Amino acid sequence: AQSVAQPEDQVNVAEGNPLTVKCTYSVSGNPYLFWYVQYPNRGLQFLLKYITGDNLVKGSYGFEAEFNKSQTSFHLKKPSALVSDSALYFCAVGFDNLFFGTGTRLTVIP
Amino acid sequence: DAGITQSPRHKVTETGTPVTLRCHQTENHRYMYWYRQDPGHGLRLIHYSYGVKDTDKGEVSDGYSVSRSKTEDFLLTLESATSSQTSVYFCAISEDRGQLDTQYFGPGTRLTVL
């Protein structure tokens, strides 16, 4: 069965520091991997996706994600956090239908 | 929100009443999806459509039905609403399905069933 886990419900980071939001998955084969962000009272917005190729994927707003096949992980990263990055982040994995993680709330502290 | 509107944006209803949520897109995308978002569960797929009159069930389809009579409109119906269907409902669209193309989401509908 496919599953995706975001082990941290909440991540706090100081403005200017690097941030990491973790995602691990359990699925057979080579899935497609996504990160979405949700700002308050808004729908989800696409950040980036991995299908194949380079393990480091660059996305919107300076975010990037690193695919690690041996660890079945797809962690979201940003070198320098902004207060405006504070939001709810969802990892998603699948072949056809997407299965979403439960979300990680990122708070960037000024 | 990528040419996607949802109506109504908020609704309060009583147990046992029928409810229909509407998703309208102006992108002419083939695929449309309905999700529900609940704390601790993330987003879960209810139903999706891959063309006019072509629909299929998702992960949590019990108690829900859908219809798509035009490319631009995808309706979600709760035949007899229950308190467990209190949730935020999101519509999404994509040119292709899931992995090949990104999904774009509407602003959501907050439904409360009393």
**pLDDT per residue as tens digits for the range A46-77:** 999 998 888 999 999 999 999 998 999 999 99
In the CATH scheme, what is the code of domain B4-113?
A: 2.60.40.10
Identify from A10, A88, A100 which residue to disrupt to test chain B contact, counting B C-beta atoms within 10 A and taking the largest count. Answer: A100
pLDDT of residue A27: 78
Q: Which residue in the set A45, A95, A97 is minimally distant from B45, CB to CB? A: A97
3-state secondary structure of A80: coil
From chain A, pick out residues whose CB is under 8 angstroms from the CB of B88.
none
- Output the average pLDDT for chain B: 92
Cα separation, B111 vs B114, whole angstroms:
10
| pLDDT of A1 higher than 80 | no
Whether the CB of B62 is below 8 Å from some CB of chain A: the reply is no
Q: Which domains does chain A have, with CATH numbers?
A: 3-109 (2.60.40.10)
CA-nearest of A37, A64, A39 to A50 is A64
Cβ B50 vs Cβ B30: under 8 Å = yes
Residue B112: name the closest of B7, B14, B6 by CA. B14
Contacts of A34 in chain B (CB under 8 A): 102
pLDDT band, residue B97 (cuts 50/70/90): low
* Over residues B33-58, mean pLDDT: 92
- Residue A77: Cβ within 10 Å count: 15
With beta carbons under 8 A apart, name residues in chain B contacting A103: 42
* Domain layout of chain B by residue ranges: 4-113
Calculate how close chain A gets to B12, using CA atoms only, in Å.
Answer: 17
Residue A81 pLDDT > 50, yes or no?
Answer: yes
- For residue range A3-50, list pLDDT tens digits in order: 899 999 999 999 999 999 999 998 777 888 999 999 988 889 999 999
Is the pLDDT confidence value at B99 over 60? no
pLDDT tens track for A82-105: 999 999 999 998 876 788 999 999
The share of chain B scoring above pLDDT 70, in percent, equals 95
